[in-house]
A and B are shown apart, each in its own frame.
Chain A
Amino acid sequence: MGDVKKVRTACRQCHGGCGVIAHVQDGKVIKVEGDPDSPISNGTLCSKGLSVTQLAYHPDRILHPMRKTAQGWERITWDEALDTIAEKFNAVIEAYGPESIVIGQGTGRDYESHLYRFANQLGTPNVLTAGHMCYVSRVASTLVTVGNLPICDYEGGPKCIVLWGCNPQWTNPDEYKGEGFWRAYRKGAKLICIDPRKGFTAKKADLWLQLRPGTDAALAMGFHHVILEEDLYDTQFVENYINGWEAFKERVGDYPLEKVQEITWVDKDLIRQAARMYAKTKPAGIHWGVPTEQTNNCADCTRTLTGLMAVTGNLDRPGGNVLFVNPPTRTVAEFSRHKDLSHEQRAKRLGGDQYKLGARVAFITPKVAWEAILTEKPYPLKAGLLCGTNPILTRANAREVYQALDKLEFLTVIDFFMTPTADLADIFLPAGTWLEQDHVADNWKRHGFVLARQKCVEIGEAWQDHKIFLELGKRMGQDWWDTVEDALDYLLEPSDLTWEEFKKVGYLKGEMVYHKYQERGFSTPTGKVELYSTVLEKWGYDPLPKYTELPESPVSKPELLDQYPYILNAGLRTPTFFHSANRNIPWLREIRPDPIVEIHPDTAQKHGIEEGDWVYIESPRGRVKERAKFNEGIDPRVIVAEHGWWYPEIKDPGHGWDISNINILTDNSHESMDPAIGATNLRVCLCNISAV
């Protein structure tokens, strides 16, 4: 056996960024460790990252391109695969126009820059991402409000932390890992936890606000109400830096605490206590999570929470919510050549006229893609390329998703395994894991870092996603580089480093400047925090944020309560899985072998359900089963269920995608979505339960 070489790189098992030292021996990664010198993770590494060798060397992994034939899948060469895709795409462009090709990704493996560059040069405005309801929707809503995404500044030493629909130690924390939160907490910061479910952080919190799922925007309005009523706002800041303060105050007047209590189920005195703690403890940071986005209140909730940061003077202040300065590299937007997409093609973006805030950040909501495939209106989608995404599991109304992808005439999927979505493809392209990737990682985030993710090994014929877009793009006459490394040199050019030099440096940190607004205002049309949004007003939306009742709730649909008496809080995240990934990783599946539905013991008793029983969960759209676990830390009127479950061990096509897939129950009707951004309501609907 040869010597062990240690390669310093960055994880991408979730949104990633944790520092890793990979041990490579004889061309194989035999072990990974946390990198103590990583500014992101300080040596820690989670169960997912630690399992990467079981992912990379999984016996089911597909390590060569494949084509579906009448007899089943057959192995082909990269040349054959890319030629076939280029030929089909060109035929669609010729007959229908480039807009009839949809390019999609999931939560992304740091290749959005390359995917968008490919789509923009192809000329299609129809890029299907998770962005409509995850992170990018927060970015879009804050862009129009304060010009950037305000991030909780743990390094700056918050004295009060609000975890709002967010469990950064368990799951997908975007900019920060749970490690940063924990250090700030251990230094003595006060903790407010907003969560319908009593988890670890709720237990640790000074105040836990157990709200009705999906009513976050109303609760945030309750905070504003207290702050206004008790004059807890930063007078100097609101006078100088808020656009529409008077109008906003009037809007807040619509939310007296009695009303907020009725909407959110949170006791009004507790709301008052929490609002006081947040407003009076300086500095205070809000760390917000994806449940605040996955409802019809997506943009309004983000804007209301941004308003809290602003009026309390915590915006861009050390230890508050800050607008980090990225290191000097080319942005994803610049690399992507968004400007190259013609106005004529942009105007054809599906749903672009309806969901203007989504269109502003260049994505479509999935619903319009499925409609275009199934109804061919306003025009048909004929071909697609989906990279690292499993929408049959992760998008609302899964049966419609399945039907649409099944009907699509030509589909290419880029992934590691034959997933339920890949089962429907015509061409399968094998992607490299993060161990097989060279990239300037984290360059899309807003935490002020870029990280060197270094290729440790090559496995089979798998290519890193970036190379796939580059080679396919070149084959279609697009402007790319000779190699992946050349493209990285271009990305890094403003930093005066080449990729080879950057690898040795490991990471770059932007030089942070606080209180930037005092010099140059905010990057909005008025230069102020637009609690009254001139942009949204121009587009015909309500310029002021508000709470809109959930589309399917005991309040909005009381007539359904006889049949569906409970609120389903869908999409419980777990530390071992990332959306629909990792169900086939032995170490992780051993920890969590079954999909879990959490039920309050009193509720379970009414239905004769014992712990460990398989339970049907049913909504107006369908029925799936998961295994019961009791949890006294949820409201008896609420059922909490995990998402993303399929069964890789079922080898038949489909891999049991419809057995425990909670998104068979969720709705994606236009009425159920956020009107400005097209966020689907993945979190809340009505349901019933019964023993299997």
Chain B
Amino acid sequence: MAKFSLMFYRQDCMGCHACEVACKQEHELGVGPRLVRVFERAPDFFPVYCHHCANAPCQESCPVDAISKNEHGLVLIDKELCIGCQECMEACPFGAMQFDDDQETAVKCDLCVDRLKNDKAPACYSVCPTGCISWGATKVLADRVAQEALPQKMK
């Protein structure tokens, strides 16, 4: 079964933050946890997001095995099991793990797994006006990187 992941092609991110708000709405999150976040250093923008790593440091760091992987390789957290120790936040090399003060648990990108079940693309992807967000099989994402790296005329 194909492994899925999420990727921002940073050169095309223009810092509109639509992905952030779409994500908040989808996951019913208030102020605090930001499962996807774009930092601005005009004219460049730096998206921070979960890469759904093959060997996920967050998963490895969790003392109660609250973090697991599904059949598509999506790294998911079970909020019922999470004890709020924040070890995963220390472990994530991308700064993608977040903490929800209201629920006192860690919270993370699930690639909108509920939307995927209904054949709908992740919320962040669905609103991005430049198409800088890709999701899907890791092989497809790798191909896109190769494609984007080509000079315009060779595409």
Contacts and interface: CB of A to CB of B under 8 A. Distances in A.
Given A197-B42, A200-B43, A200-B45, A46 B126 contact: no
B42 A633 contact: yes
Contact of A47 (B14, B18, B30, B45): B18
Interface stretch (B87-95, B97-105, B127-135): B127-135
A57 B16 CA distance: 23
B25 A47 contact: no
Contacts of B30: 586
B110 interface: no
Nearest to A51: B21
Interface residues of A, number: 37
Contacts of A169: 14, 16, 129-130
Main secondary structure, interface of A, reads mixed
Contact of B127 (A44, A586, A633): A44
A47 B42 contact: no
B10 to A, nearest CB: 11
Contact of B31 (A202, A575, A576, A587): A587
Interface stretch (A175-183, A268-276, A409-417): A175-183
A34 interface: yes
B43 A199 contact: yes
Contacts of B25: 31-32, 50, 53, 587
Given A169-B130, A182-B130, A188-B152, A591 B17 contact: yes
The CB with the most chain A CB atoms within 10 A, among B42, B44, B126, B127, is that of B42
A50 B18 contact: yes
A34 B126 contact: yes
Contacts, number: 83
Contacts of B44: 203
Nearest to A168: B129
Nearest to A592: B17
Contacts of B45: 200
B57 interface: no
B122 to A, nearest CB: 13
A591 B126 contact: no
B52 interface: no
B102 to A, nearest CB: 13
A41 B71 CA distance: 35
Interface string A177-201: 1110010001010000000011111
B126 A47 contact: no
B133 to A, nearest CB: 11
A282 B107 CA distance: 51
Contacts of B32: 590
B11 to A, nearest CB: 9
Contact of A588 (B21, B43, B130): B21
B15 interface: yes
Main secondary structure, interface of B, reads loop
Q: How large is the interface on B (under 10, 10 to 19, 20 to 34, 35 or more residues)?
A: 20 to 34
A109 B117 CA distance: 38
B24 interface: yes
Interface in B13-61: 14-18, 20-22, 24-25, 30-32, 34, 42-45
A34 B130 contact: no
Nearest to A43: B126
Interface string A582-598: 00001110110000001
Contacts of A45: 18, 22, 127
Contacts of A576: 17
B130 A587 contact: no
B24 A46 contact: no
A384 B107 CA distance: 50
A587 B24 contact: yes
A107 interface: no
Contacts of B42: 197-200, 598, 631, 633
Interface in A40-70: 43-47, 50-51, 53
The CB with the most chain A CB atoms within 10 A, among B43, B128, B152, is that of B43
A47 B129 contact: no
A633 B43 CA distance: 7
A200 B14 contact: yes
Contacts of B128: 44
Contact of A182 (B22, B34, B129): B129
B129 A46 contact: yes
Contacts of B127: 34, 43-46, 50
Given A200-B14, A631-B42, A587 B129 contact: no
B15 A198 contact: no
A44 B18 contact: yes
23 contacts: A45-B22, A47-B20, A47-B21, A50-B18, A50-B25, A50-B127, A169-B16, A169-B130, A170-B16, A182-B130, A188-B152, A199-B42, A200-B43, A200-B45, A201-B14, A203-B44, A575-B16, A591-B17, A591-B20, A591-B21, A598-B42, A631-B42, A633-B43
Interface of A: 31-34, 43-47, 50-51, 53, 169-170, 177-179, 182, 186, 188, 197-203, 575-576, 586-588, 590-591, 598, 631, 633
Given A188-B152, A201-B14, 11 more contacts: A34-B127, A46-B129, A198-B42, A199-B42, A200-B45, A203-B43, A575-B16, A587-B24, A588-B21, A591-B17, A591-B20
Interface of B: 14-18, 20-22, 24-25, 30-32, 34, 42-45, 126-131, 152
Lowest 4 CB-CB distances: which A-B pairs, in order?
A: A200-B14, A203-B43, A50-B21, A47-B21
